[in-house]
Amino acid sequence: MCGRFAITLPPDAMAQLFAAAPANALPEVPNYNVCPTNDVHVVWNADGQRRLGAMRWGFLPHWYKTVNGGPLLINARGETLADKPAFKAACRARRCLIPASGFYEWTRDSADNRLPWYIHPARGEVLAFAGVWQDWERDDQMLRTCAIVTTAANSSMSRIHHRMPVILAPDDWSLWLGETGKGAAALMVPAPETALDFYRVGTAVNSNRASGPELSEPLGT
């Protein structure tokens, strides 16, 4: 599961890191509270060239008659990605990378209060989530949309949540993007135990209207 994340890397640095040609209009950064239906930064391969552009976070299958025509698909389970009608075509032909500086998950206390955690790379400054994307058109409206692929949590993350995004190492980006043959299914596994660190943050991030760097600061600092 991934329902909120942060991205702080400037677009020119993202373009350089992913060797991608950036679009003219990209979402503003830093954003410490990226929420479903927001536009997010996405890297994909088009005609042999990596692109960095914006997509709506919330995958819209082609049969949705409106943007609210079905469940909001922000995540796609890696275990069933190739079989689910919503995702199976995108799994074959439209895979992407979604950069993030970190993401949030929640536990609950004995009073059922939601307690947020910030999960971030143990080394480096960016994560690359595996994603799939889809163009959706109705009448004169066209949206390019995406979802984050998830897998079972590793043992460290399972203390917080039973699912986690598929996080791809740089050596695997080309395979996921379809640039180096087949075998991408093997990448849909939990990140290594040492790949991530996490800590509690304040409950301000529980609101989708909250913003600012304080959202990702350790609780009590």
Give 64-84 pLDDT, tens digit per residue: 999 999 999 999 999 999 999
Q: Is a pLDDT exceeding 80 seen at residue 1? A: no
What pLDDT band is residue 169 in, cutting at 50, 70 and 90?
Answer: very high
Question: From the candidates 2, 91, 96, 146, which is the catalytic residue?
Answer: 2
Mean pLDDT of the chain: 96
**Mean pLDDT value of segment 130-138:** 96
Question: From the candidates 28, 79, 96, 105, which is the catalytic residue?
Answer: 105
The per-residue pLDDT for 37 is 97
**Mean pLDDT value of segment 122-140:** 93
CB 153 within 8 A of CB 196: no
Structural domains in the chain, sorted by start: 4-206 (3.90.1680.10)
Other beta carbons less than 10 A from residue 67's beta carbon: 16
The per-residue pLDDT for 2 is 84
220: which strand partners?
none
121: which strand partners?
196
28 catalytic? Reply is: no
Alpha-carbon distance of 32 to 34, in angstroms, equals 6
91 catalytic? Reply is: no
The per-residue pLDDT for 139 is 86
CB 78 within 8 A of CB 152: no
Give pTM, 2 decimals: 0.97
Give 24-46 pLDDT, tens digit per residue: 999 999 999 999 999 999 999 99
The per-residue pLDDT for 140 is 85
Other beta carbons less than 10 A from residue 181's beta carbon: 8
What is the Cα gyration radius of the chain? 17
What pLDDT band is residue 17 in, cutting at 50, 70 and 90?
Answer: very high
What pLDDT band is residue 117 in, cutting at 50, 70 and 90?
Answer: very high
What is the secondary structure of the chain as a DSSP string?
---EEEE-S-HHHHHHHHT-EEPSS---S-EEEE-TTSEEEEEEEETTEEEEEEEEESB--TT-SSTTSS--B-EEEGGGTTTSTTTHHHHHH-EEEEEESEEEEEEE-TT--EEEEEEEESSSS-EEEEEEEEEEEETTEEEEEEEEEEEE--TTGGGT-SEEE-B--GGGHHHHTTSS-S-GGGG-SPPPTTSEEEEEB-GGGGSTT--SGGGGSBTT-
The per-residue pLDDT for 181 is 86
Largest CA distance in the chain: 53
Alpha-carbon distance of 155 to 111, in angstroms, equals 25
CB 176 within 8 A of CB 98: no
